[in-house]
Amino acid sequence: MDELTKEGLSGGGILVLAAHPNWRESRVNARLLAAARDTPGVETRDLYGAYPDYDIDVAGEQARAAAARLIVLLHPIQWYSMPALQKLWVDEVLAYGWAYGPGGTALQGKDLWLVASTGGPENSYHPQSYNRYFFDAFLPPYEQTATLCGMRFLPPLLLHGARRASEESVRDHVEVFARRLRSYPHWPELAELDSCPACDVPRTDRPAPPGAP
């Protein structure tokens, strides 16, 4: 049975989109993905396993996203952003007229949660260190993606210094992730977050492609 079949639609309301270019080298994300797979009501998608040729089934992925209440982006931070296939998923699945823009309300009212790890320790994300910025400076693309689609961007779950983190730290991080999945949507902080109406994108800002009626 292939990966795509094993990870079919669960209908449980949580969709975990996991992206790691080399799972064999993962000591954190692989365990997070395993924890998600063991959680009832959670559908998991190993994007690199499902699409080794980068040929994304857009309609299928849109159906999964539309069926979920919470979409989780699970991945290591690579060059201050998401892995290439995760970005391609965003580019192709979150289409104009479906996820945003006129008629693009498929994801409105849902939640988006970033669960990410970094190779550098937390103190490396500082104006006086080699990453030069606090990590929050790299979050606006995620936040605005959610906002454009009318989704709430939930406080991220991060593990810094994943390569050198102690076994205890990794184990605790995985347990927090699993506990959050099991308890969603009953997170105390959600009551303090306002819903996010979709942004109005004028038709004039997205001209019709050549040849369109």
- Check whether 3 has a pLDDT greater than 50: no
Instruction: Note the pLDDT of residue 199.
Output: 80
- Check whether 1 has a pLDDT greater than 80: no
Condensed to tens digits (0 to 9), the pLDDT of residues 105-124 reads 999 999 999 999 999 989 89
- Name which of 40, 5, 36 is nearest 18 in CA terms: 36
Q: Which residues contact residue 155 at a Cβ distance below 8 angstroms, ignoring those fewer than 6 apart?
A: 189
Condensed to tens digits (0 to 9), the pLDDT of residues 142-172 reads 999 999 999 999 999 999 999 899 999 999 9
- Domain segments of the chain as ranges: 3-205
Condensed to tens digits (0 to 9), the pLDDT of residues 56-100 reads 999 999 999 999 999 999 999 999 999 999 999 999 999 999 999
Q: Which two tokens stand for residue 205?
A: 């800002």
- Check whether 32 has a pLDDT greater than 80: yes
* Mean residue pLDDT across the chain: 89
- Check whether 12 has a pLDDT greater than 60: no
- Name which of 55, 50, 60, 116 is nearest 83 in CA terms: 116
Q: Please give the CATH number for the structural domain made up of 3-205.
A: 3.40.50.360
- What does residue 96 show for φ and ψ, rounded to 5 degrees? -60, 135
- Check whether 9 has a pLDDT greater than 80: no
Between 205 and 111, whose confidence is greater?
Answer: 111
Q: Which two tokens stand for residue 119?
A: 């190779």
Query: Does pTM top 0.85 for this prediction?
Result: yes
Instruction: Note the pLDDT of residue 211.
Output: 52
